[in-house]
Amino acid sequence: MTRQRVLAAIAAFAMAIAVAAPVAAAAAAPKKFKATRAFVVDKQTGAVRMPTPAEVDAVVTTLTALGQQPSENLTQTTQPNGAVSVDLAGGFSGILLARPGEDGTWETRCVFTVEEGAEFLGLVEEVQ
């Protein structure tokens, strides 16, 4: 299997997870975005295409859920040697995104917020 097909399969798998992932953050009425660039690899043809509105919503919902950063005070613990550790409560993790380039290569970026992810994927907020 060629590298491009492997990367396309990974991207398709990631999109399938994003579409299928049940996320509690969806109930919070997230901002609406629209795509300005193609980043979805079609499962049938392998061609890069613009995402559908449902796919954009799924990506934003997933980025919102994965990019959550705890807003309450984080628990600090003093260790026997005097060091202080902080339980990050599952937050502050980066999200690895990939998008296909026009030349068949892939660009990746680690993002920490919905806004960073939207900018990387070419999503802009819809003004209502």
64 vs 17, residue with greater confidence: 64
DSSP, res 96? E
Q: How far apart are the first and last CA of the chain?
A: 45
Quote the number of domains for the chain: 1
pTM, to two decimals = 0.62
User: Using 50, 70 and 90 to split pLDDT, how confident is the model at 127?
Assistant: confident
96: containing domain: 3-125
- Other Cβ atoms closer than 10 A to 55: 17
What's the confidence (pLDDT) of residue 114?
Answer: 87
